[in-house]
Amino acid sequence: MSAFFVLRMYFITEDNCYGDLKIETEEAIAEMEANIRNDRNMLRVLSGLIANTGDMDSIEVGGYLANYE
């Protein structure tokens, strides 16, 4: 009977760990997607600013690019 209990607890613990892993993975994916979305928006803004500058070698363009890492 105790072997059954130990085995049952093992499977319950394993299921809980997989559940936690799934939640953490989904949160990591959501954070990565948000970061990618933010980066895309920032690059669009920067490209618009650079396009309006006209001179790719200007100090202004260098400043835009230096601020974005």
The predicted-structure confidence for 34-44, as pLDDT tens digits, reads as follows: 999 999 998 89
Amino acid at the residue 6: V
What percent of the chain is predicted at pLDDT more than 70? 96
Q: What pLDDT is attached to residue 45?
A: 86
Structure confidence at residue 68 (pLDDT):
66
b/e map of 4-16 (b: 16 or more CB within 10 Å)?
A: eeeeeeeeeeeee
Structure tokens at 6: 């130990």
Q: Is the pLDDT of residue 10 over 80?
A: yes
Give backbone dihedrals phi and psi of 54, rounded to 5 degrees, phi first: 90, -30
For residue 44, CA distances in Å to 8, 17, 32, 48, 66 come to 54, 40, 18, 6, 16
